[in-house]
Amino acid sequence: MKILLTNDDGIYSKGIYALYEELVKIAEVIVVAPITEQSAVGHAITISDPLRIYEVTRRNRFFGYGVKGTPADCVKLAFDDILTTKPDLVVSGINHGANLSSNVIYSGTVSAATEGAMLGVTSFAISLASVEYDDFSVAAKFGSFFAKYLYGNKEINHLLFNVNVPPLKREEIKGWKYTVQGKTRYLDTFEKRVDPRGNTYFWLTGEKIIDDNGENSDDKAVKNGYISVTPLKYDLTDYSFFKEIDKEELKWEE
């Protein structure tokens, strides 16, 4: 098995290293990840600046390729210029912090996996659902398990998954389940400040609001001690809309 490993916390982060250490036990792993942290870049790509690739050493040996760009850039560039053959799997993570519910659309971690899926390769994003807890070992082990699981079960035949691992010890985790993207939203608040020159500026803070506690939602699963695995797609069309419309009405008269 050949795996392209990337993330959005950056190639020097703890999460990608923990996952790398587990994945190299079962596969050939090529690391191509941003040189610097890219959190909340969403599905950004770099158009107006050139991309640069650096060879990165960790613990005194070659670790992978650092790219001055976004997670999506890393995957595009890896497929076009670094990998000699297509990988069997694209894995993005381990992100330090949850990518659940409406936050999925801001996620650079998920966008890298989406890019892999768009290139036709089975892909998953994996996140440790806490910014405080920093033991990545359980999430790394599940990442390795899930990579093997997808590789060994070709009949699953689905390209894109979003995995969130609760911040718990192995024995505290109840299992894993397929979930749907929850409807929990965040109420954004900005803190207004004045700089030394008298100019106003704003910091994004944010208070969680619970809109959704659906039995099968990603948040709920993690809250209840399960690893959440959500099958995603990148076709954003709301097909349910088409049942409701009357096609005869579509005129544009001024």
Touching a copy of itself, residues 156-195 (CB under 8 A): 156-158, 160, 162, 173, 175-178, 180-181, 183, 185, 188-190, 192-193
Binding-site residues for a divalent metal cation, please?
8-9, 39, 95
CB nearer to a copy of itself: give 57 or 131: 131
In the region spanning residues 78 to 137, those forming contacts with a copy of itself, defined by CB under 8 A, are 79-81, 102, 104-106, 111, 114, 118
Look at the alpha carbons of 140, 5, 228, 108 in this order and tell me if their dihedral is positive or negative: positive
Cβ distance to a copy of itself smaller for residue 59 or 155: 155
Considering only residues 10 through 39, tell me which ones interact with a copy of itself, judged by CB under 8 A.
37, 39
Nearer to a copy of itself, 60 or 153 (CB): 153
Residue in 172, 202, 209, 213 binding a copy of itself, rule: CB under 8 A? 202
Nearer to a copy of itself, 24 or 45 (CB): 45
CB 243, CB 206: distance < 8 Å:
no
- The answer to whether 47 contacts a copy of itself (rule: CB under 8 A) is yes
Residue 217 contacts residue 180 (beta carbons within 8 Å): yes
H/E element holding 108?
A: helix 108-118
89-96/123-128 β-pairing: parallel
Among 55, 171, 207, 238, the residue binding a copy of itself under the rule CB under 8 A is: 238
Residue 135: half-sphere exposure toward Cβ, Cα within 13 Å: 7
241, 247, 251, 252 from 244: Cα distances, Å: 6, 10, 17, 19
Spatial separation of the C-alpha atoms in residues 69 and 34, rounded to whole Å: 6
Residue in 26, 30, 45, 83 binding a copy of itself, rule: CB under 8 A:
45
Q: Which helix (H) or strand (E) holds 207?
A: strand 207-209
